[in-house]
Structure 1
Amino acid sequence: MAADQPRSAREKMAAGEWYSFWDPELTALRERAQEAIFEHNTLPPSKRGNIAPALTAILGAVGEGCRIEQPFHCAYGVNIAMGDGAYMNFGCVILDHGGVTIGRKAMIGPRVQIYTVEHHREPDLRNAGVEVARPVVIGDNVWIGGGAIILGGVTIGDGAIVAAGSVVTRDVLPGTTVAGNPARAVG
């Protein structure tokens, strides 16, 4: 792309730059995700399998043996990558604007929320849909307890444990257990 051509909102989102949520391309991607999520959340388990076909089709990557319980919600889906054997319990919400990588055999408890997006602090820009996204990386063999909240820009190292109800605002070292709001190393 030539230097003088403007970048799309999707390119800005992926690059961690400010962009408009109301961009038509992004709106179309969210609508596509809503259709796939609806299928996943309404199919009987015997027909849905581990992940409904339409949801599997939009996810960025799905390893062998992954499972997402219903209900599940995400913003785009295309920015979610799940390693082999990753598991999400019921009620998970992923605002995957900045990208979410979930490692092999990671276990994500019920009602976990992962927010990679932050709205602008200036009210006029916020009302115009201006936001910025930062990725979340969850390592292999991580256990995230029910109701935890993971904020954008966070990496949770391999083998770490996030206690139920914790709010993770900064990186978690491999093998560490964190708890609280904000989450801090314990034990």
Structure 2
Amino acid sequence: MAETDQNEIRARIAKGLVYTETEAAFLAPARREDEIFAYNHTPPGDTGRRRSLLTEIFASVGERTVLQAPFHAAFGSNVHIGDDFFGNVNLTFVDDVEIRIGNDVMIAPSVTLTTTGHPVHPARRADFGRFSEPIVIEDKVWIGSNVVVLPGVRIGYGSVIGAGSVVSRDIPPMSVAVGTPCRVVRPITDADLASRA
């Protein structure tokens, strides 16, 4: 594929427009499948090897990162992770475009962060037609078990996403949000300093 064609497809992807598997095939070398497989099969005690693999897999990875195996990623190379990150088992990154995770973020088991969706009409899903929009998770966010974060979402500083939620729109900073679709139920205030929940 000519470089001009690749640039045109990259521009369409960046605008959140539909593109196909065949059109995006030139992006395949950015996938880190072998490295992800190796990470998921590296003993937990081999922290040096695990750290080395994380720096090979992700676009950037901060200090004191804990990522429990197994995890999964479409690419891995489109994920940016800040300092003091904790990701529990079965975290899935559908990172066809960027996922940016800030500092001090905690993610519970079986969470999916998906930058990619598919058109509703079946004719537009031919050749795995899809669209992609970046996800941003700001500093100090906590995401509960079995949450799904959909394309284009930003979760604001300090917010908590309740277990089982489907996050289809932005969540403002310092909010507790739950449900399907996920909605803000209350702000986080200083009163929460004296509370367990």
Give me the TM-score of the superposition, normalised by structure 2.
Answer: 0.84
Q: Tell me the CA shift for residue 72 of structure 1.
A: 0.1
8 Å contact kept, 2:42–2:50: no
Q: Any unmatched runs of 5+ in structure 2?
A: 187-197
The equivalent of 1:121 in structure 2 is 120
Q: Tell me the CA shift for residue 10 of structure 1.
A: 4.4
Which has more radius of gyration? 2
8 Å contact kept, 2:42–2:49: no
Looking at structure 2, the residues matched to 121 and 173 of structure 1 have their Cα atoms a distance apart, in angstroms, of: 28
Matched residues, number: 182
Q: After the TM superposition, which residues 3-18 of structure 1 pair with which residues of structure 2 at under 5 Å, given as runs?
A: 5-6=4-5, 7=7, 9-18=9-18
Looking at structure 2, the residues matched to 10 and 35 of structure 1 have their Cα atoms a distance apart, in angstroms, of: 25
Give me the TM-score of the superposition, normalised by structure 1.
Answer: 0.88
Paired residue secondary structure (1:171) = coil
Looking at structure 1, the residues matched to 57 and 85 of structure 2 have their Cα atoms a distance apart, in angstroms, of: 17
The equivalent of 2:42 in structure 1 is 43
Q: Tell me the CA shift for residue 38 of structure 1.
A: 0.4
Q: Tell me the CA shift for residue 18 of structure 1.
A: 2.4
The equivalent of 1:180 in structure 2 is 179
**Is the alpha carbon distance of 1:17 and 1:35 closer, same or farther for their aligned partners in structure 2, counting shifts above 3 Å?**
same
Paired residue secondary structure (1:44) = coil
8 Å contact kept, 2:54–2:61: no
Q: Does 1:25 align with 2:26?
A: yes
8 Å contact kept, 1:98–1:152: no
Q: CA RMSD in A?
A: 2.0
Alignment-mate amino acid for residue 27 of structure 1: A
Q: Any unmatched runs of 5+ in structure 1?
A: none
**Is the alpha carbon distance of 1:8 and 1:53 closer, same or farther for their aligned partners in structure 2, counting shifts above 3 Å?**
farther
1:64-106 CA distance string (max 9 Å, x none): 1112110000111111000111111111111011211111000
The equivalent of 1:110 in structure 2 is 109
Looking at structure 1, the residues matched to 48 and 166 of structure 2 have their Cα atoms a distance apart, in angstroms, of: 31
Q: After the TM superposition, which residues 78-157 of structure 1 pair with which residues of structure 2 at under 5 Å, given as runs?
A: 78-157=77-156
Greater alpha carbon shift after TM alignment, 75-84 vs 42-51: 42-51
Q: Tell me the CA shift for residue 14 of structure 1.
A: 3.8
Looking at structure 2, the residues matched to 35 and 12 of structure 1 have their Cα atoms a distance apart, in angstroms, of: 28
Q: Tell me the CA shift for residue 8 of structure 1.
A: 5.3
Alignment-mate amino acid for residue 30 of structure 2: L
Greater alpha carbon shift after TM alignment, 57-66 vs 7-16: 7-16
8 Å contact kept, 1:88–1:107: yes
Q: Tell me the CA shift for residue 11 of structure 1.
A: 4.9
The equivalent of 1:171 in structure 2 is 170
Greater alpha carbon shift after TM alignment, 7-16 vs 141-150: 7-16
